[in-house]
Amino acid sequence: MLKNIGSTWILNLIQILVFLALLPYVVYRLGKPMYGVFEVIVASTGILQLLALGIPMATVRHVTAAKARGDDAEAARVVRTSATLSFGMGLLCLVLGFFVYFATKKHLLGSAEWTLTPAELEDASRSLLIMLAFVASNFTLRLPYALFDAHHDFVVRNAIYGIGLLARVVLTIVLLEMDASLTMIALATMLVPVIEFAVASTVSRKRHAPLRFVVGRLDWRLAQKLLAFGLFAFLINMGSLLAFRLDAIVIGAMLDNVDVADYGLGNKVFEQFIQFIVTIGAVAMPMATQLEAEGRREGVRALFLKWSKIATTLVFLVGGFLILVGPQFLSLWFGSQYAERQGEVLQILTFSFFFFLPVHGVAMPILTGINKPKIPGIGLLIMGAFNVAISIVLAKSYGIHGVAIGTALPNIVFAIALTVLTCRQLGVRVGDYASYVLPRCILGLVPGLAFLAFMRFIVLDQVGSGFPLLAFVLVSGTGYVAIFAILQYVYVYRDDPHMDLRSLVQRALPKRT
């Protein structure tokens, strides 16, 4: 499991580096107002992704379970049924896309508050159409990755993702240099999954024979199983949409497209960070399914505890830096496009993600893997509904800061509640979970935070403009990571019952002769 997650983390690091370089370029080429328009287009078309009905997640679970039983015929039927359902949902998405197109164009793109010129409105409309086609086709285009996940074939899957990442960089730069328009950035977004699908399908035919994603006669018995499981996966996706994807629409409807851009840029760093944590869940879910199918519930409990602590460690590492030095990092990253309120949004959301991300990355996929998706599904849906409601109320008085608070508060409540419920489902005492995961992780974070506080409130405030921002961020980040890493090695993971970091490091070092 460490090998699979490690390979995905390497990919995530490359994605983060590309993201850090590419996003300021995109914002610069489009301009902040038009970038805000594209954020709304992505959010409005993303609503239709709910039509996936959790089929990819259900496919991973059912193929994994079938392979664990040695039933290759059942696995093949699952794959064929998933392809047929996904193709049908894609067609339905195209039909519903017309309603989304006219509603978005009339109520958001054509809003008097946005003041788009006729040329900008035409560009945004074309981009909206392309993104609708992207969402409709993506139901089927992403399915081959379900086979890689079900076979724990994450290293090869990540290599294919890497090809898609390279294609994204090349297409984005080439197309935006040809024409700095929303149409071009949408076209680049559309073409990347097509390239990935072609490569993934070719590789899968060789590695996962005889499994094929071919549209054919629908197996209603399997379809009912997939949809029954997918119903709660759908609730999870719906909750995630309400919690994180509709903020742009709320802001766009109540404020303007520049506000959308500022909120999006303050929140954007979390997209890559969340993927870093979700990587754990992508591997943990099929692993939990396999352990459960083999009747090894104790293994599921150990999986939950071990990776909850690792996820908490990663969240503390990045979150500690962002909550103290995040505004300075964004200022360095975006340059002239930076606005102070972007950093304030980042800090508000960072605090809530201390609670939410470990649960999102570990507890939710493990519950889904052992066929208990109802709890996170309903819980996340409730959380998302409160997110939208609170954001709408607070946006009137506090602008994008109110939307950030409306996102943060439900995150915290949901995380605490789901942690307790997951412990009960797995037979883990909440006190045992808390004593294993939290005390050492918190104490291991404090010295690094003290160093960052010294750099931020003593060094930067005293030296001021005499301390270059790049040097400040580099020195702060390097020193913080060094202190944090040392504490993990000598204290946090010392003699850990599930992952002794010292033993892992010693085995990794070359042996003396």
Q: What is the pLDDT of residue 315?
A: 93
Percentage of the residues of the chain whose pLDDT score is greater than 90? 46
Q: Say yes or no to pLDDT of 2 above 60.
A: no
CA dihedral 154, 156, 161, 166 (to 10 degrees): 150
Give yes or no for residue 141 having a pLDDT over 80.
yes
Q: For residue 230, what pLDDT is reported? A: 65
pLDDT at 4: 61
Contact 24, 333 (CB under 8 A): yes
pLDDT tens track for 339-374: 899 999 999 999 998 999 899 889 988 988 888 878
Q: What tokens does 457 get?
A: 């409130």
Is the model's pLDDT at 3 over the cut of 90? no
CA distances (Å), origin 172, targets 29, 102, 164, 193, 254: 11, 27, 12, 14, 31
Specify the pTM: 0.77
pLDDT at 464 over 60: no
Rounded alpha-carbon distances, angstroms, from residue 494 to 223, 279, 441, 497: 48, 24, 12, 9
CA dist., res. 343 & res. 332, Å (int):
11
- Percentage above 70 pLDDT, the chain: 91
Cβ 330 vs Cβ 266: under 8 Å: yes
| pLDDT at residue 212 tops 70 | no
- Residue-wise pLDDT tens digits, 170-185: 999 999 999 999 999 9
Q: What dihedral angle (degrees, nearest 10) is formed by the CA atoms of 115, 121, 124, 126?
A: 170
CA-CA-CA-CA torsion for 40, 47, 267, 166, nearest 10 degrees? -90
Q: Could you tell me if 14 and 159 are in contact, meaning their C-beta atoms sit under 8 angstroms apart? A: no
Give residue 13's pLDDT band: very low, low, confident or very high (50, 70, 90).
confident
Q: What is the 3-state secondary structure (H, E, C) of 3-27?
A: HHHHHHHHHHHHHHHHHHHHHHHHH
Phi-psi region of 117 (alpha: psi -120 to 50; beta: other; left: phi over 0): beta
Residue in 42, 21, 22, 48 with CA at minimum distance from that of residue 186: 42
pLDDT digits (tens, 9 = 90+) for 247-265: 888 898 888 888 999 998 8
Q: Is the pLDDT of residue 202 over 70?
A: yes
Segment 38-49 shows an average pLDDT of 88
Sorting pLDDT into bands at 50, 70 and 90, what band is 404? very high
For 148, other C-beta atoms within 10 Å of its C-beta total 23
Top pLDDT among 38 and 209 is at 38
3-state DSSP assignment of residue 338: coil
Q: Report the alpha-carbon distance of residue 501 to residue 304 in Å, rounded.
A: 18
Contacts of 226 by beta carbon, 8 Å cutoff, 6+ apart: 55, 58, 59, 62, 78, 81, 82, 85
User: Where does the pLDDT of residue 72 fall: very low under 50, low under 70, confident under 90, or very high at 90 and above?
Assistant: confident
Q: What burial class does residue 312 get, using C-beta atoms within 10 Å of its C-beta: 0-12 exposed, 13-18 middle, 19+ buried?
A: buried
Label residue 467 by pLDDT band (50, 70, 90): low
pLDDT, one tens digit per residue, over 143-152 is: 888 778 777 7
Rounded to an integer, what distance in angstroms lies between the CA atom of residue 440 and that of residue 428?
A: 19
